[in-house]
Homo-oligomer: A and B are copies of this chain.
Amino acid sequence: VNRALVELLRRKESELQQRGIAWRITGVATRKTGWLADAKGFDLNVLLGKSSALPGWANPLLRDDFCDWLSTARANVLLEAISLDPYTGQPAIEYLRAALNMGIHAITANKGPVVHAYRELSTLAAEKGKQFLFESTVMDGVPIFSLFRDHLHGVQVHGFRGILNSTTNVILSGMESGLTFDQALKRAQDVGVAETNPSHDIDGWDATMKVAALVTVVMNTPIRPDQVQREGIRGLNADQVFSAHAAGHPYRLVCRAHRSGEQAEASVRPEQVPANDPLAQVTGTSSVVYFETDIFPGLIITEVNPGVEATAYGMYADFVRAVGTGKAEV
């Protein structure tokens, strides 16, 4: 995703210029590289592995810790995409909090901080006059959160249902076409949709975190992941999935939430849906959310066959939202 993001920033250079946005990458941190910073900016071809460092190109500095790294980089914006820890949202929350405290926009592709620290980080961002943005956490870069925040003023969301995890949907599509669970899982891994830990997907953790993020932000009702009833797709066998599809009531890993007084009730579990249900039409890497609201009885947003660029776009668009017009160091 990070690589796709850099490619996208380069490809959309003219749009960014029109908005008066200039950017360079002044810090990179991965498990492999450690905390690298260079306030003058990295050579993108070196970064993308398309050429080796040229003689005379300053080597980036290796820093000891996060704050040291961020201030050496003189960053304006932090883009964070650490693997998900569904239980605590750490260490991402700590990094995002530190960045905001340093007056740096905090953008995350990580559901943990949204679920575990949405109010805290939003409040902190507002105090600092900076942005805490997380559009790529649900449905890749489709601007769900931005839509509700900026353009559905006063619309009350009563609830929603949807399909939000690609890996399980790709596996179910494979099983519908006659594959076993293991064959279908392998195919999902081959097309690169599986997350770092495949059990996060198969056991419904990824979908649960997305549901919790939507409930927390869009329904404005905090919910902990352990309050979401969660059941993955391990219990389904190939025959069952194949026959249900053939009979016109296919299985989907359905995410649901609805308001119940001051609280919200939410679940993630395999359900059979009727053939003419919008959820039945969504196969493979596609995803869908069907919102029920006071103004719109049904508002459905469907993303069809996204590639890695769609996820990168979520971070790209958050970056543009955060910096608006101006010079940005990432």
- A residues sitting closer than 8 Å to B (CB atoms) are 12, 15-16, 19, 141-143, 146-147, 150-155, 276, 278, 281, 286, 290, 295-307, 309-310, 313, 316-317, 320-321
Closest 5 CB pairs of A and B: A298-B304, A143-B151, A300-B302, A15-B154, A146-B151
Q: Which residues from chain B contact A306 at a C-beta distance below 8 Å? A: 296-297
CA of A313 to CA of B296, assembled, Å: 9
**Distance in Å: Cβ of A154 to nearest Cβ of chain B:** 4
**Distance in Å: Cβ of A160 to nearest Cβ of chain B:** 12
Q: Which residues from chain B contact A290 at a C-beta distance below 8 Å? A: 304
Closest Cβ neighbor of A292 among chain B residues: B304
Q: B299 contacts A153, CB within 8 Å?
A: no
Q: Which residues from chain B contact A150 at a C-beta distance below 8 Å? A: 146, 150-151
Instruction: Choose among B16, B19, B307 the residue that contacts A297 (Cβ–Cβ < 8 A).
Output: B307
Q: Which residues from chain B contact A321 at a C-beta distance below 8 Å? A: 151, 153
Q: Which residues from chain B contact A16 at a C-beta distance below 8 Å? A: 154
CA of A298 to CA of B283, assembled, Å: 13
Q: A151 contacts B317, CB within 8 Å?
A: yes
Q: B295 contacts A303, CB within 8 Å?
A: no
Q: Which residues from chain B contact A305 at a C-beta distance below 8 Å? A: 297-298
Q: A302 contacts B295, CB within 8 Å?
A: no
Q: A299 contacts B142, CB within 8 Å?
A: yes
CA of A153 to CA of B133, assembled, Å: 15
Closest Cβ neighbor of A140 among chain B residues: B296
**Distance in Å: Cβ of A234 to nearest Cβ of chain B:** 28
Known: A143-B152, A154-B15, A301-B301. A296 touches B276 (CB 8 A): no
Q: Which residues from chain B contact A146 at a C-beta distance below 8 Å? A: 150-151
CA of A309 to CA of B306, assembled, Å: 33
Q: Which residues from chain B contact A153 at a C-beta distance below 8 Å? A: 15, 19, 316-317, 320-321
Q: Which residues from chain B contact A297 at a C-beta distance below 8 Å? A: 304-307
Q: A300 contacts B304, CB within 8 Å?
A: yes
Q: B310 contacts A296, CB within 8 Å?
A: yes
Closest Cβ neighbor of A154 among chain B residues: B15
Give 27 CB contacts A-B under 8 Å. Answer: A12-B154, A19-B153, A143-B147, A143-B152, A147-B151, A150-B150, A151-B317, A151-B321, A153-B317, A153-B320, A153-B321, A154-B320, A281-B281, A286-B298, A290-B304, A295-B310, A295-B313, A296-B303, A296-B304, A296-B310, A296-B313, A297-B304, A298-B303, A300-B300, A301-B301, A301-B302, A302-B302
Closest Cβ neighbor of A141 among chain B residues: B295
Closest Cβ neighbor of A150 among chain B residues: B150
CA of A302 to CA of B147, assembled, Å: 14
Q: Which residues from chain B contact A151 at a C-beta distance below 8 Å? A: 143, 146-147, 150-151, 317, 321
Q: Which residues from chain B contact A310 at a C-beta distance below 8 Å? A: 295-296
**Distance in Å: Cβ of A287 to nearest Cβ of chain B:** 11
CA of A147 to CA of B149, assembled, Å: 11
CA of A12 to CA of B310, assembled, Å: 35
Closest Cβ neighbor of A320 among chain B residues: B153
Closest Cβ neighbor of A21 among chain B residues: B153
Known: A15-B154, A146-B150, A153-B15. A300 touches B298 (CB 8 A): no
